[in-house]
Amino acid sequence: MVATRIVGIGHLDRGDDAIGRLVAARLRDTAPAGTEIVETDGEAGKLIDLFDGADTVIMIDACLSGAKPGTVQRIDAVATPLPRWLGSTSSHAIGLAESVELGRILGRLPGRLIVYAVEAESFTLGAPLSSAVAAALETLPAEVGGDLLPRVA
């Protein structure tokens, strides 16, 4: 059992889709003891399995919600269902939102599940991060790090 698992989701070679994995990579050396860092492409079965064995799971992924590119949305996925648009960028049959909701139905959600959704601009194969998402990459590791601090009851 780990206290916290950080899951960076995306494909490194698809522009802004890389944001989740890049944030996870930046946190790898600074996360406190008891934190596991995982990078994944977002395949639904893998995501659901990553709920198991952790008190807290923090997931970071690109999204297309209609917000300004680079906008970061933080969602408490235990308290509220994820919006369907969060799964719309997946290259698989089901995306993050559907995986979380399936985990909820199956009773497999961790006690705490936080999702950071970063509004993407481009998913072009071989492209770098857009400037807006690159700017979010500079601040998002610190935001996620705030969720790693002990909670005061």
**How do 112-119 and 72-76 pair as beta strands?**
antiparallel
Q: How many domains does the chain have?
A: 1
What CATH number does the domain containing 60 carry?
3.40.50.1450
Q: What's the angle, vertex CA 61, arms to CA 29 and CA 112, rounded to 5?
A: 75
Residue 153 located in a structural domain: no
User: What are the φ and ψ backbone dihedral angles of 81, each rounded to 5 degrees?
Assistant: -60, 150
Residue 31 lies in a domain: yes
Q: Is residue 98 included in any domain, yes or no?
A: yes
Kindly report the length of the chain.
153
Angle at 59 between CA 72 and CA 21, to 5 degrees: 85
Q: What domain range includes position 90?
A: 2-146
Q: Write the pLDDT tens digit of every residue in 84-140.
A: 776 544 544 567 888 899 999 999 999 999 999 999 999 999 999 999 999 999 999
Residue 40, beta-bridge partner list: 9
Would residue 82 count as lying in a domain?
Answer: yes
Residue 10 covered by a domain: yes
Domain assignment present for residue 77? The answer is yes
* Domain membership flag for residue 142: yes
- pLDDT tens, position by position, 10-64: 999 999 999 999 999 999 989 998 899 999 988 877 899 999 999 999 999 999 9
Q: What is the dihedral of CA 56, 60, 71, 26, to 10 degrees?
A: 100
Strand order in the sheet with 112-119: 35-40, 2-9, 54-63, 112-119, 72-76
88/79 Cα distance (integer angstroms): 21
Neighbours of 146 (CB within 10 A): 8
Q: Model pTM?
A: 0.92
Domain annotation covers residue 122: yes
Helix residue ranges, H only, the chain: 19-27, 44-49, 96-105, 131-146
